[in-house]
A and B are shown apart, each in its own frame.
Chain A
Amino acid sequence: MSDSTLLEVRGLKKYFPIERGLLKRVVGHVRAVDQVSFSIEKGRTLGLVGESGSGKTTLGRCVLRAIDLTAGEILFHHEGRTTDLAQLSRRDMRAFRKHMQMIFQDPYSSLDPRKTVFDIVSEPLRINRIASGKALEERVRTALELVGLDLPYMKRFPHAFSGGQRQRIGIARALSINPQLIVCDEAVSALDVSVQAQILNLLKDLQLEFNLTYLFIAHDLSVVEHVSDEVAVMYVGKLVEQAPTQSLFARPRHPYTEALLSAIPRPDPDQPLPESGGIEGELPDPAHPPSGCYFHPRCAYAEAICREEPPPLLEVAPEHSAACHFAADLELQGIED
């Protein structure tokens, strides 16, 4: 860990019980997040990718303590102090929340339709008792200006806005209390292509201006490549690969990452999707994951050991770790420009 680390997650687990019958007997667990560790430096972006059901949203919500975790540490380094969020009581956590915010995927359902833009953006400031009266208005004004929304819009309701503008409102709300960490959960997935670029640029500008740290959860790999300094790949609750962005895309070390990259349709008719090959099958049921390496039933390189032994996440190159028995031996295909 370096001095500039803001967030350090160690061995995070979130198990959801599977209940049966009248007495809600627990008959098993879904390991939505299983032994995940990572850290993010201040002012940097960690991209988190994986298929739906891989646990990436659950992980993001655990980090914010929006849901309680089963085990693990969430160390938040701020102003020379280290706080383990996992140990905080609900009350202490509430006080701590001003340091972290979330931007949601769906700008239509994440804004209360009965509140004005002013009410929405000022809410975190009021709840955390940071500002009131004139000062509150000033803070809201600043936040709206930062995201490029015209001030007369303050008195309007969300329905009057387009998807891109709503997402700007959501970002203004997140920014209003000067958080350190922002979890962006599919923050641009619902937007039109031309608007998505505006929001990505805005997030980048704000990061530079306020030294913001992002945990950027997304399924679109070209977006993740664009915004992230580092990327973590999740599969059925576990991290299977983590590396600096450039290194991961140029030379992936886990067959799952290779499969993900090869499945991206490129905006170039000269690079069509391969007619054959490619990843088969679907994400396994996290309540009944396969034995050994969870990816082995879909993996083109699987051997006997993959069915038996779960591979540990190990460093295979500088700063580049992968959870694959053959990470060091395989020559996997990345993305060429």
Chain B
Amino acid sequence: MSDVLLEVEDLRAYFELDEGTLKAVNGISFTIRKNRTLGIVGESGCGKSVTAQSIMRITPKRNSAISGKIMLHHGSSSVDVLQLDEDGDEMRDLRGREIAMIFQEPMTAFSPVHTIGNQIMEALFVHGEKDRGAARARVVALLEEVGIPAPERRIDEYSFQLSGGMRQRSMIAMAIALNPRLLIADEPTTALDVTIQSQILRLMKRLQRENGMAIMFITHDLGVIASMADDVAVMYLGKIVEYGSARQIFKDPKHPYTRGLLRSIPKFGATEGAHLATIKGTVPVPLDPPDACPFANRCDDYIAGKCDARMPEAVTVAPGHSVNCVLYE
């Protein structure tokens, strides 16, 4: 299986708070393959962003405990990202060159006191580029690549001079500057209008087609996931509750949470005045969660004594499609 790029095994990210232990990520495993997009979908607090931060090793240091394995494969060699010193040279070299990340809010991701061009050039310098002229030419080419008009002019502008869409394009340019093999995109289009969103999504697909990078795409938007992802992991309260191909998840969802989510989004052409299906209650905070199905207290199919007794094992319901729910055990 040489196309496996990243293997995450039993990843846990715990944060000690005054109120208790916040188990943001609570034992998840998945793989990311070359040239493919893994979509991670879930609501706020499900741990999708902390998962991304753990891979990049940019989680807050204080009172946190990250455990498990994050194996990054390169040909025949592999490295466990979690074993590296998060401030060390090895990790720093890995960020950007192997794994790059784009964020939801490009306004805060860019420094307001440096030009866009200088910030992207800095990434090139950190990773060994010596020649300033060559770096500048490369950045102009990158900005053009991501569809920014008049890149020779834009390169000297500041992030606040750009529109939201242009800022997101600039961030993508910075992320792909070193041809990373994995691009982690954390809600990259959530702050954008639907028209600009579709432009950015198309851009990401084109870049993937051209350079074969893998994408880990994190979002709460089921429409975006369906458009982008080959495989989908549905997360809830720090756990992956269902995993499968996009087709399996959207056409044949198994977990009550996945089903509930899909039912609760308004469909075009649905009967006028009809009520939306809802999931009762709200997403709880994973403070000292019991070792049980995290969705139990909101689930319509809840079975007392079973769902709250232990965390359900992953059950394979079809090739490549697994679900953690007692209904299928």
A, B from the same assembly: yes
Give the A interface residue count (CB, 8 A).
50
B199 at the interface (CB under 8 A from A): yes
Query: Closest residue of chain B to A52, judged by CB?
Result: B193
Contact A219-B202, Cβ < 8 Å, known A193-B222, A272-B226:
no
Q: Given the complex of chains A and B, what is the CA–CA distance between A275 and B202 in angstroms?
A: 6
Q: Mark A236-266, 1 if CB is under 8 A from B, else 0.
A: 0000000001100100000000011011111
> A194–B195 contact, CB under 8 A?
no
Query: Closest residue of chain B to A335, judged by CB?
Result: B268
Query: Closest residue of chain A to B247, judged by CB?
Result: A269
Query: Closest residue of chain B to A51, judged by CB?
Result: B193
B31 at the interface (CB under 8 A from A): no
Task: Give the contacting residue for B283; candidates A194, A196, A267, A336; CB below 8 A.
Answer: A194
> A272–B198 contact, CB under 8 A?
no
Q: Which residues of B contact A51 (CB under 8 A)?
A: 193-196
Q: Which residues of B contact A263 (CB under 8 A)?
A: 194-195, 197-198
State the majority secondary structure of interface residues on A: loop
Cβ distance A334 to chain B, nearest Cβ, rounded Å = 9
Q: Which residues of A contact B273 (CB under 8 A)?
A: 204
> B268–A268 contact, CB under 8 A?
no
Q: Given the complex of chains A and B, what is the CA–CA distance between A160 and B53 in angstroms?
A: 27
Q: Given the complex of chains A and B, what is the CA–CA distance between A245 and B270 in angstroms?
A: 12
B17 at the interface (CB under 8 A from A): no
> B195–A265 contact, CB under 8 A?
no
Query: Closest residue of chain A to B149, judged by CB?
Result: A281
Q: Given the complex of chains A and B, what is the CA–CA distance between A275 and B207 in angstroms?
A: 12
> B195–A259 contact, CB under 8 A?
yes
A82 at the interface (CB under 8 A from B): no
> B220–A273 contact, CB under 8 A?
no
Q: Given the complex of chains A and B, what is the CA–CA distance between A52 and B194 in angstroms?
A: 10
Within 8 A of B (CB), among A25-60: 51-52
Contact A260-B268, Cβ < 8 Å, known A162-B282, A198-B278:
no
Query: Closest residue of chain A to B209, judged by CB?
Result: A275
Contact A194-B199, Cβ < 8 Å, known A267-B223, A267-B226, A269-B246:
no
Q: Given the complex of chains A and B, what is the CA–CA distance between A335 and B194 in angstroms?
A: 15
Within 8 A of A (CB), among B59-88: none
B98 at the interface (CB under 8 A from A): no
A278 at the interface (CB under 8 A from B): yes
Q: Given the complex of chains A and B, what is the CA–CA distance between A263 and B195 in angstroms?
A: 5
Task: Give the contacting residue for A272; candidates B195, B227, B264; CB below 8 A.
Answer: B227
> A265–B282 contact, CB under 8 A?
no
Cβ distance B263 to chain A, nearest Cβ, rounded Å = 8
Query: Closest residue of chain B to A250, judged by CB?
Result: B269
Q: Which residues of A contact B163 (CB under 8 A)?
A: 282
> A201–B278 contact, CB under 8 A?
yes
Within 8 A of A (CB), among B237-273: 246-247, 250-251, 260-262, 264-270, 272-273
Question: Which one, A2-10, A134-142, A220-228, is touching chain B?
Answer: A220-228
Q: Given the complex of chains A and B, what is the CA–CA distance between A225 and B272 in angstroms?
A: 9
Within 8 A of B (CB), among A112-162: 162
> B264–A194 contact, CB under 8 A?
yes
B275 at the interface (CB under 8 A from A): yes
Task: For chain B, give the interface size range.
Answer: 35 or more
A-B pair number, CB within 8 angstroms: 134
Q: Given the complex of chains A and B, what is the CA–CA distance between A262 and B125 in angstroms?
A: 41
Cβ distance B233 to chain A, nearest Cβ, rounded Å = 15
Q: Given the complex of chains A and B, what is the CA–CA distance between A200 and B264 in angstroms?
A: 10
Query: Closest residue of chain B to A229, judged by CB?
Result: B272
Q: Which residues of A contact B197 (CB under 8 A)?
A: 263, 265
Q: Given the complex of chains A and B, what is the CA–CA distance between A270 and B248 in angstroms?
A: 12
Contact A192-B198, Cβ < 8 Å, known A204-B273, A223-B266:
no
Task: Give the contacting residue for B194; candidates A219, A269, A282; CB below 8 A.
Answer: A219
Q: Given the complex of chains A and B, what is the CA–CA distance between A228 and B277 in angstroms?
A: 18
Q: Given the complex of chains A and B, what is the CA–CA distance between A243 and B196 in angstroms?
A: 24
Q: Which residues of B contact A211 (CB under 8 A)?
A: none
Contact A260-B194, Cβ < 8 Å, known A194-B260, A197-B264, A249-B269:
yes
Q: Mark A165-197, 1 if CB is under 8 A from B, else 0.
A: 100000000000000000000000000111111
Cβ distance B246 to chain A, nearest Cβ, rounded Å = 4
Q: Given the complex of chains A and B, what is the CA–CA distance between A125 and B312 in angstroms?
A: 50
> B268–A282 contact, CB under 8 A?
no
Task: Give the contacting residue for B276; candidates A201, A271, A272; CB below 8 A.
Answer: A201
Task: Give the contacting residue for A260; candidates B195, B225, B272, B282; CB below 8 A.
Answer: B195
Cβ distance B157 to chain A, nearest Cβ, rounded Å = 15
Q: Which residues of A contact B278 (CB under 8 A)?
A: 194, 197-198, 201
A329 at the interface (CB under 8 A from B): no
> B194–A193 contact, CB under 8 A?
no
> A197–B226 contact, CB under 8 A?
no
Within 8 A of A (CB), among B80-101: none
Contact A165-B265, Cβ < 8 Å, known A52-B193, A265-B226:
no
Q: Pick 12 A–B contacts, CB within 8 A, sort by A.
A: A193-B264, A194-B283, A195-B283, A204-B275, A222-B265, A222-B267, A226-B270, A245-B272, A265-B223, A267-B226, A335-B268, A337-B269
Which 4 pairs of residues, A with B, have the shortest CB-CB distance? A265-B223, A226-B266, A337-B269, A197-B264
Report which A residues bind B (CB closer than 8 A): 51-52, 162-165, 192-198, 200-201, 204, 219-223, 225-226, 245-246, 249, 259-260, 262-273, 275-276, 278-280, 282-283, 335-337
Beyond the given pairs A226-B270, A265-B226, A269-B247, 13 more chain A to chain B contacts, judged by CB atoms under 8 angstroms and listed by A's residue number, are A163-B44, A192-B220, A192-B282, A195-B282, A197-B264, A197-B277, A201-B278, A245-B272, A263-B198, A265-B227, A267-B226, A268-B226, A269-B250
